[in-house]
Amino acid sequence: MITRAELQLLRSLSDKRHREELGLFAVEGEKIVAELLAAGHPFEKIYGTGAWKGKKTHEIAEQEMARASHFPTPSPVLAVGRIRRDALSPGELDSGLTLALDGVQDPGNVGTMLRIADWFGIDRVILSPECADLHSQKVIQASMGSFARVRAVVTALGAALAGIRAPIIGCALEGRDVHRIAGIADAVIVIGSEGRGLSGEVGRLLAYSVTIPRRGAAESLNAAVAAAIVCDNLRRGASG
């Protein structure tokens, strides 16, 4: 049995404002919880019904899970974690590859870009405050276990990128052919919002832009697809 107050808290974590106030987030579903546990994420509480065979800290009845769940069809497990509020260290962006998300608002794209950063060994992901909430269920679900493995920092991009020594490379429809760019070990790769592209503040800080040559008639590429292609090309031939 869990208390009425606990049920109310679990329900409230579907809302970003409550997540921020409480410093907690919830993630639900057998596959994603198992992936995050395997990646070593330190959940504070794991509520599981009898159908959940993995690790749990609290037994919960199916009827209670139905009331606590954020989904129309409840999962047998719901885990609660503490929100990470990491900050960048001085000079951190000058070393290694950084994937910067400038107002990317689709949570599926944000989560997928965490997976892309994980796949290509990108050192960190930084997100502007206008991006989809890093700790939303949809972002975490799309990231798979990468949410637990990738260093992700929410910060004002203009201030974070101003004055760094590493080149800042924007992804745009106009720019250098990314296939002709040599592999690079230290850089910030910026992906803009799905509808507006790069913000003016970040655009003014770019060393240059790169583009993925278009062969067909599509107007644009999905932001996460573009990020994967650019990361792949900039990783080729680069050390690290």
Q: 151-205 pLDDT, tens per residue?
A: 999 999 999 999 999 999 999 888 899 998 888 899 999 999 878 889 999 999 9
Cα-Cα-Cα-Cα torsion 25, 14, 126, 228, nearest 10 degrees, comes to 110
Q: Specify the 3-state DSSP secondary structure of 113.
A: helix
| Cα distance between residue 202 and residue 158, in whole Å | 6
Same domain? 116 vs 231: yes
Does some domain include residue 143? yes
Same domain, 170 and 63: no
Q: Which of 18, 48, 82 is the last residue of a domain?
A: 82
Angle (CA) 46 75 110, round 5°: 80
pLDDT score, position 237: 60
59 and 128 in a single domain? The answer is no
% of the chain beyond a pLDDT of 90 = 83
Burial of 196 (0-12, 13-18, 19+ CB in 10 A): exposed
pLDDT of the residue at 195: 81
| 107 part of a folded domain | yes
Q: Residue 63: give its domain's CATH number.
A: 3.30.1330.30
- CATH code: domain of residue 176: 3.40.1280.10
Same domain, 96 and 52: no
Say if residue 12's pLDDT is above 70: yes
144 domain-assigned: yes
Radius of gyration in angstroms for the set of CA atoms belonging to the chain, rounded to a whole number: 20
Please indicate, yes or no, if residue 159 is contained in any of the structural domains: yes
Mean pLDDT of 117-133: 97
Q: How far apart are CA 152 and CA 154, in angstroms?
A: 7
Tokens of 89: 């260290």
pLDDT tens-digit map of 200-238: 999 999 999 999 999 999 888 899 999 999 999 988 765
**Residue 127 forms beta bridges with which residues?**
101, 154
The residue out of 48, 82, 116 marking a domain boundary is 82
Query: How many CB atoms are located within 10 Å of the residue 183 CB?
Result: 12
Query: What residue has token string 């507006």?
Result: 196
- In the listed set 82, 111, 132, which residue is the last one of a domain according to the structure? 82
pLDDT at 181: 85
**Which of 188, 144, 186, 192 has the alpha carbon at shortest distance from 35?**
144
Residue 25 lies in a domain: yes
Q: Which domain holds residue 21?
A: 4-82
Asked if 103 and 220 sit in the same domain, the reply is yes
87, part of any domain: no
Kindly state whether residues 31 and 66 are assigned to the same domain.
Answer: yes
- Check whether residue 228 and residue 126 sit in a common domain: yes
240 within a domain of the structure (yes/no): no
Domain count, the chain: 2
Answer yes or no: is pLDDT of 106 > 60.
yes
- Asked if 76 and 98 sit in the same domain, the reply is no
